[in-house]
Amino acid sequence: MNCGAEVQGRYCGVCGQENIEPREPAWHLVTHFFNDITHFDGKFFSTVKYLLLKPGFLTAEYVRGRRVRYLHPIRMYVFTSAFFFLVYFSFISSHGPEAEGRKSLRETLANEQGELQTLQGMLTATDDAVEKAAIQTAIVKYEQRIRLLTDSLKKDSVQNKEILNRADDISDSVITVIPFSPSVRSKIDSARKMSKTGSSGGDKVLINDKEFIDFTFYKDEATYKAVQDELPAGQKDGWIKRSIKLKLLHWHSEEKKDRSKLFNTIVEKFKHSFPTMLFISLPLFAFFLKLLYIRRGSFYYAGHGIFSIHAYCAIFILLLLYYTLDGIHAQLHWRVLSLIKAAVVLYMVYYVYKAMRNFYQQGRSKTMLKYLLLSWMTFIAMIFLIVIFFVISAYKV
């Protein structure tokens, strides 16, 4: 029906389409979908068995042309890598989406509480009636937002997003309160030389510490904006003065930023780049094999690539096994699980050597030497990629 050729068997000899009834039941569509994606009819599991227990065997079979009975290497790599990282980021990594959301809520709540204390201190530090009224209004809004954030931490994570959206309508985003640093003084001294006309009037905007901005009164951008939003229109800073003050407060805050928090943020972004890094490292791994076996003309780069794919798939599966055992060990604390975990790690180290020996058919000494060289080159390449991705992650923070 696809090409018009007469078919005698199950498959067409011209186009390869399976000779089946055009109207197939819905259940057949479902089963065909799962069989086509993962070959759960036996091909997937048999392929994994050969992959783990006979290192190098699947690559040799593929190069010989015996491919129908096994799962295709590309499909197996996509499936195993996707499954590995799905499980890793959902269960293994301590920063799953829900955990990150709740951690963010707690950090936001802590910052809001600190800023509320700052506003309360500002209330007692000023004698200006209008400014007092503005600070009191800002305090009420902060108290409402803190109540909402506190309630959200007590409720199911499903409701967190809705509560945060309600909280966002009350006040602006928060900035961590950081003590005043002497180096900000140099920036203020430079800014003091500026003399511009403000938008709210014809007054000159002169940078002169307390006359312009008092860091002992306004300690961060959030409290400054909260008070400014509540002041009468005639007493609000003009947009030029406001912009300069916000910039100075930003310098003030950034001067002693929590470096450990910044580092953790970069690490989290880097962890999410890890799948991309492994994907890029795979062709490099195959290239290193090509260099090591350059005198073996019968092995083309594609063959080294298939070997690399099989090796990566095996490592993914063994890592999943290791993390599974590690999770069970964390709950049961059985000593035997520690031994099994150590055995899995040793087998991962041994696996690539054994696969190289079985596929490339060289002696133990040559294979061991090339295995050590391959490990060294891969290590250097991974360090190089880690530096690149870490810099990219830091740039995106």
CA geometry: angle at 115 spanning 393 and 125, to 5°? 140
What pLDDT is attached to residue 79?
86
User: Which residues are bridge partners to 205 per DSSP?
Assistant: 196
- Cα(138)–Cα(131) distance, rounded to whole angstroms? 11
What pLDDT is attached to residue 285?
94
What pLDDT is attached to residue 184?
46
Which residues 6+ apart lie within 8 Å of 301 measured at CB? 286, 287, 290
What's the distance, CA 87 to chain centroid? 14
Pair of tokens at residue 104: 């963010």
Domain boundaries along the sequence of the chain: 1-38, 97-255, 263-396
Q: Which of 43-52, 179-188, 271-280 bottoms out in mean pLDDT, i.e. has the lowest?
A: 179-188
Find the mean pLDDT for residues 370-383.
93
Q: Which of 29-33, 76-80, 202-206 bottoms out in mean pLDDT, i.e. has the lowest?
A: 202-206
- Cα(334)–Cα(329) distance, rounded to whole angstroms? 6
Q: Which of 62-76, 106-120, 247-261, 271-285 bottoms out in mean pLDDT, i.e. has the lowest?
A: 247-261
Return the higher-pLDDT residue of 92 and 337: 337
CA geometry: angle at 41 spanning 35 and 45, to 5°? 105
- 165-208 residue pLDDT tens: 555 554 444 333 333 344 445 554 554 444 344 444 433 333 44
List the one residue out of 365, 375, 374, 354 whose CA is nearest residue 54: 354
Q: Is the pLDDT of residue 266 over 70?
A: no
Q: Which of 63-67, 106-110, 143-147, 158-162 bottoms out in mean pLDDT, i.e. has the lowest?
A: 158-162
What's the distance, CA 355 to chain centroid? 32
Q: Of 2-16, 86-100, 308-322, give the range with the top mean pLDDT.
A: 308-322
Q: What is the dihedral of CA 18, 20, 23, 24, to 10 degrees?
A: -80
Query: According to CATH, what is the number of the domain 97-255?
Result: 1.20.140
CA distances from 105 to 95, 159, 251, 265 (A): 14, 12, 25, 15
What is the average pLDDT value for the chain, to the nearest integer?
76
pLDDT above 70 coverage of the chain, percent: 68
